[in-house]
Amino acid sequence: MMARLSVWRSPVTVPLSWIGELTTGVRCSSSMPIVRPAYSDSSSIIRSFSEIPGLWKNGMANLYHFWKLDGFRNLHHIMVQNFNTFGPIYREKIGHYESVNIINPEDAAILFKAEGHYPKRLKVEAWTLYRDYRNRKYGVLLKNGEDWRSNRLILNKEVICPKVLGNFVPLLEEVGQDFVARVHKKIKQSGQNKWTTDLSQELFKYALESVSSVLYGERLGLMLDYIDPDAQHFIDCITLMFKTTSPMLFIPPALLRKIGAKVWQDHVEAWDGIFHQADHCIYNIYRELRKESGTPKKYPGVLASLLMLDKLSIEDIKASITELMAGGVDTTSITLLWTLYELARHPKLQDELRAEVAAARAESQGDMQEMLKRIPLVKGALKETLRLHPVAVSLQRYIAEDIIIQNYHIPAGTLVQLGLYAMGRDPKVFSRPEQYQPSRWLRTETHYFRSLGFGFGPRQCLGRRIAEAEMQIFLIHMLENFRVEKQRHVEVKSTFELILLPEKPILLTLKPLHGSR
């Protein structure tokens, strides 16, 4: 029994070859643990599933309570509170949403070791129901089982494998330069040698331009003054899609659809807008590809590469490309906004990062891919942002085998969630968690199952490498050109709209570093 509890102690960084192959050789496939209380030592008595503390007996009463606490927007705070009340493990049922929640990195290791061959996260029913309703295929985000695995293997090679990252960097660098030029122009227009604004709309456009240029090998032109209204509509639809998803985590969307609820109607409208724009982009590339013959001279983007590879059906490709495009806007832009907010609050740290970037620039003669290898503190800043302001409030898996966590037996098939937001702010996990300290990621202190902003293992975020490169390149360009400041010392909290967002607009001031141009 004890042998099962001693978890695999290798560092969290997964070799990319492993992601590429999805080998599960590192996991020990053990037989079911025997649940037998050990009376010799009271601390090791294995308690049953029904003994896990928490409120899980009356889903409807809990849903009412949750709604009273404005839980639809406060899920992250409620989770922190629950860990305070119940300890490092609790069971919960809200409406029809049942889970076991954990907070410790060591327990996260046990959870992910039990994810099995076909890791499965919470099924977001609103998203699958929309696809069923409109007769559209699931992409790799929503697929499960062998269908997921075979698609994911092919996509890994074109999207997350280090070999293709080199193709993305020049595309992303160009978008970064255009963003900087746009900010310089705005500063000039202001006539005050600075620009004070809520950057979120600009960052949405930066993120969409970036992910589109990687997916389609083409620019949408969102760094210009007049942008395609369809692209703006796409951006608005993503925000609406996320917002309308959260209530449907707790109330079955099929029910809401039957009674004609507004939230379901808005959700359908949002996805319709998203698919309309994605279909349009995909069709353009598809048409161009059929006109051209021979192999292209320059990198043609992820979509064209997948079409030429001819290993996935066109419908499968479309489904996953749409997910990547929709998943790559709010996630990266909000992470960048939080990072700028933290840099504005920490001017000395901002200077340190700027110095690191300047040294990296000098050492690599401006070769961006080389530069990306020389900016550990910038990378630490992004990790630190995702620790305090994670996009996802939790990571979850339906476990493939029985496990024992905190001495409780949890049967196979249970939905187990790691409270990522709560973990990032837990003083038992991170020393002085309230402080923004990118350097904590450089030190030798353990990072074991602590950096999980993009999830873990073969089911982790497929867009991870694109997002990381896009955000690093953005920060490099911003640090080289502007100082970021903020007005007053107001603390901005998060609100839950499926992803975590700033609860109110963040106003930042950008000042040019080197006089006016």
332 vs 437 by CB, closer to ligand HC9: 332
Report in angstroms how near the CB of residue 224 gets to ligand HC9 at its nearest.
25
Name every residue whose Cβ is closer than 8 Å to that of residue 292 and which is 6 or more positions away in sequence: none
Separation CA 211–CA 213 (nearest Å):
6
Q: How far is the CB of 84 from ligand HC9 (least distance, A)?
A: 19
Contact status: 115 vs ligand HC9 (CB under 6 A): no
- Binding segment for ligand HC9 (CB under 6 A), chosen from 15-23, 54-62, 155-163, 320-328, is 320-328
Q: What's the CA gap between 76 and 495, in Å, rounded?
A: 8
**Token pair in block for residue 298:** 């320059």
Residue pointed to by tokens 């030798």: 444
Instruction: Outline where DSSP puts E strands in 1-43.
Output: none
Least gap, CB of 306 to ligand HC9 (angstroms)? 17
Q: 323, 356, 402, 468: which one contacts ligand HC9 (CB under 6 A)?
A: 323
- The answer to whether 495 and 75 are in contact (CB under 8 A) is no
- The answer to whether residue 35 forms part of the interface with ligand HC9 (CB under 6 A) is no
Contact call for residue 268 and ligand HC9 (CB under 6 A):
no
- Nearest approach in angstroms of CB 178 to ligand HC9 is 24
**Range in contact with ligand HC9 (rule: CB under 6 A) among 57-65, 312-320, 321-329, 368-376:** 321-329
Is residue 467 a contact residue for ligand HC9 (CB under 6 A)? no
Q: How far is the CB of 133 from ligand HC9 (least distance, A)?
A: 16
215 in contact with ligand HC9 (CB under 6 A):
no
Question: Which range, of 371-379, 385-393, 405-413, 503-511, touches ligand HC9 by CB under 6 A?
Answer: 385-393
Q: Contact with ligand HC9 (CB under 6 A): which of 80, 141, 381, 404?
A: 141
B/e letters for 149-185, b = 16+ CB within 10 Å, e = fewer, are: bbbbbbbbebbbeeebbebbbebbbbbbebbbebbbe
Tell me which of 55, 164, 312, 393 binds ligand HC9, using CB under 6 A: 393
Q: Are 194 and 220 in contact (CB under 8 A)?
A: no
With CA atoms as reference, report the closest residue to 117 among 141, 153, 142: 153
Residue number closest to ligand HC9, CB atom: 327
Q: The dihedral of CA 357, 360, 364, 369: what is its sign? A: negative
Single residue of 159, 391, 403, 405 touching ligand HC9 by CB under 6 A: 391
Of 71 and 300, which CB lies nearer to ligand HC9 in the complex structure? 71
What Å distances lie between residue 307 and 154, 236, 285, CA to CA?
Answer: 12, 29, 10
Q: Which of 103, 180, 249, 400 binds ligand HC9 (CB under 6 A)?
A: 249
Q: Given the complex with ligand HC9, which of 300 and 455 has the nearer CB atom?
A: 455
Q: Name 485's Cβ contacts closer than 8 Å, sequence gap at least 6.
A: 344, 347, 508, 509, 510, 511
Query: Which residue among 124, 154, 227, 289 contacts ligand HC9 (CB under 6 A)?
Result: 124
Q: CA-CA distance, 266 to 250, in Å (whole number)?
A: 17
* Site membership for ligand HC9, residue 304 (CB under 6 A): no
The Cα–Cα gap between 299 and 444 comes to 39
Of the residues 200, 331, 332, 437, which one makes contact with ligand HC9 according to CB under 6 A: 331
Residue of 412, 453, 445, 416 whose CA lies nearest to 429: 445
Nearer to ligand HC9, 105 or 327 (CB): 327
CA 8/CA 389 separation, integer angstroms:
28
Q: What is the largest CA-CA distance in the chain?
A: 77
Does the protein bind ligand HC9 through residue 126 (CB under 6 A)? no
The structure tokens listed for 143 are 């697929």
Using the contact rule CB under 6 A, the part of the chain among 50-58, 116-124, 356-364, 377-385 near ligand HC9 is 116-124
DSSP helix/strand/coil, 185? helix
Under the binding rule (CB under 6 A), the answer on residue 103 touching ligand HC9 is no
Q: Which residues bind ligand HC9 (CB under 6 A)?
A: 121-122, 124, 141, 249, 323, 326-327, 331, 391-394, 396, 498-499
